[in-house]
Amino acid sequence: MKLAYLCSSYPAVSHTFVLREVAGLRRGGIDVHTFSIRRAATAQLLSDVDRAEARATTAILPTGVVRLLSSHASALLRAPYRYCAALSTALWRRPQGMRAALWQLFYFAEAGILATELRRRDIRHVHAHFANVAANVARLASTMNGGTWSVTLHGLSDFADPSASGLRDKIHSAAFVICVSDFGRSQAFLLADQREWSSIHRVHCGIDTDHFAPSPGKATAQMRTSALTNGAATNDDGTIRHAPRSPVRLLTVARLGPEKGHSFLLDALAEVRRANLDVTLTLVGDGPLRGRLEQQVRELKLESAVSFAGAIGQDRILDYYHSADVFILPSLAEGLPVVLMEAMACGVPVVATRISGIPELVSSGVSGTLVTPGRADLLAEAIAELARAPDLRARFARAGRDAVVAGFDQRATSAQLSAIYATALGDRGAATEAT
């Protein structure tokens, strides 16, 4: 079976799950060709794997006039009815306003280039990640070629403004829809006709649980901590209270954007340290709020307790997980965070917000702690509890890894995706071009 995968920018440091998904499908025997609307920026290519995938990916933009015109001339001459149908879709099945019309013409121009590439490679199905520009272009290109398309929906960015994105119409026109969580699937159900529900699937993102695993030293330390029960004081819930090692190292891995809730985490850290708990924080990731967050660190006098690591490639991220005592994800908006899976698989106890698909991954009080989003006080309580109780951290670490291995291993999720493609497309994925 032959497929195209299309993203707005691929590969990207914040979308490593797409790269892993592609690799998993290829290992399963599917011939996946990757496309990117815009060429990935060098700053996004942080590992050798990223750089190799970027070289193998075809970028639509930037493009030259000759490539643009020749692609559209070929599409028009070869199938004028389908070409006009794609143009009609771009102009009439869109949000209101001249600005929206202009953007749709841009998408139409890009779709002509993609359609030519798909025909040249005998690819009849294109899959887009996120309901953004990639979904628009994939839909129009498949219309030009008489092929099919599908889309993966993730989180708030896809569902926040379905009228503006035309999400209802996209769900209707797609051959099938993948949602990364049951929560996301329920939101897609709200937009779809009930007759279309059977084509909306939930497939969790997955990770390589052999690669993301506890370091031998951490696993040994957790077992030793669990065994130290004699003579220890207990907390109110019966867990054993040990003197925490100094300091307790917190880690968060996320883009420094408003949706990730970092400011609440800094407020919570200040509250925890005022309670005389020696806790430090490392923030991995970069983004538009870095300057504001650095200013907040100074205002809270946390300079000695907080470090900004910047964007880190996948070839280095394991070191951060293995050195962390607690992983924190204080997000205000999410889909199903892969970094949370990675931390849990590495044996790091987690604290996260009770939103979107996160409760499908973390069972609060069993494999981690979930708190109400936007509540620095509750976040501080959860951090303090884990900082004071190494045995509780060890219990969450073991249960968290077990949960990821059981339900979020990439081998299983890749098999689910492959089965969906095989069922929905049959031989069409590798069929010759229809007249």
339: phi then psi, degrees, rounded to nearest 5: -65, -30
Do the domains at 2-206+410-430 and 216-407 have one common CATH topology? yes
Per-residue pLDDT tens digits for 330-386: 999 999 999 999 999 999 999 999 999 999 999 999 999 999 999 999 999 999 999
Q: How confident is the model at residue 226 (pLDDT cuts 50, 70, 90)?
A: very low
Structure tokens given for 61: 């933009």
DSSP 212: S
Q: How would residue 241 be classed by pLDDT, with cut points 50, 70 and 90?
A: very low
- Residue with structure tokens 């009228």? 163
- Does the pLDDT value for residue 227 go beyond 70? no
**How far, in Å, CA of 148 to CA of 126, rounded?**
7
Q: pLDDT band at residue 245, thresholds of 50, 70 and 90?
A: low
Long-range pairs of 351-354 with CB within 8 A, sequence gap ≥ 24:
351/326, 351/327, 351/379, 351/382, 351/383, 351/386, 352/328, 353/261, 353/329
- Per domain, the residue ranges of the chain are 2-206+410-430, 216-407
- So what's the pLDDT on residue 91? 86
Question: Predicted confidence band at 427 (pLDDT cuts at 50, 70, 90)?
Answer: low
Q: Which fold has domain 2-206+410-430?
A: Rossmann fold (3.40.50)
Rounded distance, CA 95 to CA 162, Å? Answer: 10
For the ranges 108-112, 216-220, 243-247, the one whose mean pLDDT is highest:
108-112
pLDDT of residue 236 exceeding 90, the answer is no
Residue 253 has pLDDT above 70, yes or no: yes
Q: Name the residue with higher pLDDT: 270 or 435.
A: 270
On the question of pLDDT at 234 being above 50, the answer is no
| Overall pTM > 0.85 | yes
> What's the whole-number mean pLDDT along residues 3-11?
96
Q: Are 429 and 3 in contact (CB under 8 A)?
A: yes
pLDDT at 325: 98
| 265 token code pair | 């985490």
- The mean pLDDT of the chain is 90
* Per-residue exposure over 336-355, b if at least 16 CB sit within 10 Å of its own CB, e if not: bbbbbbbbbbbbbbbbbbeb
Give the Cβ contact number of residue 171 at 10 Å: 22
| Rounded mean pLDDT, 111-121 | 97
CATH dotted code for 216-407:
3.40.50.2000
Q: Which of 44-53, 81-90, 214-223 has the highest mean pLDDT?
A: 81-90
Beta bridge partners of 234: 240
Write phi, then psi, for 245 (nearest 5 degrees): -70, 160
- pLDDT for 239 equals 44
SS3 248: strand
Residue 199, both tokens: 């084509």
pLDDT at 166: 87
Q: What is the pLDDT of residues 389-422, one digit of tens each?
A: 999 999 999 999 999 999 999 999 999 999 999 9
Query: Cβ distance 259 to 356 under 8 Å?
Result: no
